[in-house]
A and B are shown apart, each in its own frame.
Chain A
């Protein structure tokens, strides 16, 4: 599966600087299997990391990277289907692999894959205008998200802006709550139409997140011109100790209007919910 180079390169860099979520790591390893240039870059980062640490391999950081995934998945009690996918992929012949990718690509709604993109180099961000009366605040203040709009490099960043559907959004999260280790982030438009951010459309459950962080960037840019439309967009962040099943969240969002002020997951005590309502405007001159 050959994904856009800048995105793949960013994943590699992030693996060695910030660490990746489980789902992104699985994606990254599938890319490396298929792409010698990226595998070489990964190896180079790995060797440089060892040189910096002056330690035999694996370095402390490699040990911590592997540990995060192993412990989280063990405690979640499942061997991720996506990991199995990597190994099935690895074991298959090149021809079968190529065929599988083609079928996979044809079966997936193609447009769903395109709303996530790498952020531009030196991107600048502006906070997005939040409808304060449309906010669902969490029971605990230790978690939350912020929504930003990517703006041109020469833009003077205002206090906050209303995004148009030609814009790209990005998110940060904070997590200083006790026992929160997973995040599910999605958008809801119209009557319960779900736009998946984390996990993305291919993922099956929440992503693991860091603890004790404030305004930690999630990294991807979300193109509003793909999968979204002008109008209200509710962005829902669900923080939990255990990963949530995507199908369950989708079921809860069914028929939910963006302006509805009911928590998506009802009164579930094991889920902390922060939800904001924003408006996606028609771009200038197209209204």
Chain B
């Protein structure tokens, strides 16, 4: 996690905005930033301690991650990074400012006044709900159906599947391992995804899903804890 501190040539290339350096930095830090925005953080506001409990919806988190990196990768921000302190901390401070500056007025973003939450300030709304027997059964069914889909893949597609979906290799690495073209990997991957979603649709994995795990639980928590703005 000290990529830019230790690697001077990469740091220089990053400051110049070269593609390979931007990609390397992004790959190194995308998971921590995603985690930071999903898990949330505590902060002081008007003398009281508050907690941002994190973004719940996938699209919101992806949108926020993109914005944080776009800010961090702007020329001004790249040049402002001193190369002495860990870049991760630099990114987290940008992420923190983004949340406080731009999202605090949204009611969906939870800011809990810690003094009102009696020490339970970092409670995760999703974790707070115990899994019902139906949830457990649904998870098991999902697992079975995924396994059955994977079993149905033709041999060549399964090779691509293993490298890309399970081992998370890049398109280039996968193509090199299988001695094939990047285009073949990409098109096979698209076909697998298309087939998978159709397969899951046919098995009812879209029909029975309700939009309840994100906002409903968050709103209940807000009502229970008395949520206000960040300032």
Contact = CB atoms under 8 A, between A and B. Distances in A.
A162 interface: no
A52 interface: yes
A96 to B, nearest CB: 11
B205 to A, nearest CB: 6
A44 interface: yes
A63 B30 contact: yes
B166 interface: yes
State the majority secondary structure of interface residues on A: helix
Contacts of A74: 17, 22, 69-70, 73-74
Interface string B181-200: 11100100010011011001
A46 B213 CA distance: 14
B190 A17 contact: yes
A57 B65 contact: no
Interface stretch (A31-39, A127-135, A137-145, A244-252): A31-39
A122 interface: no
State the majority secondary structure of interface residues on B: helix
Interface stretch (A82-90, A226-234, A271-279): A82-90
Given A40-B211, A90-B102, A71 B143 contact: no
B179 interface: no
A48 interface: yes
Contacts of B66: 66, 69-70, 83
A65 interface: yes
A284 to B, nearest CB: 36
A48 B211 contact: no
Interface stretch (B41-49, B55-63, B127-135): B55-63
Contact of A66 (B65, B106, B166, B181): B65
Contacts, number: 134
A29 interface: yes
- For chain B, give the interface size range: 35 or more
Nearest to B30: A63
B23 A71 contact: yes
A206 B63 CA distance: 21
B146 A71 contact: no
A57 B146 contact: no
Contacts of B117: none
Nearest to A53: B165
B13 interface: no
Given A58-B31, A58-B62, A70 B103 contact: no
Interface in B193-231: 193-194, 196-197, 200, 205-206, 209-211, 214-215
A36 B105 CA distance: 19
Contacts of B22: 70-71, 74-75
A60 to B, nearest CB: 4
7 contacts: A17-B193, A43-B57, A53-B165, A58-B31, A63-B31, A67-B23, A79-B74
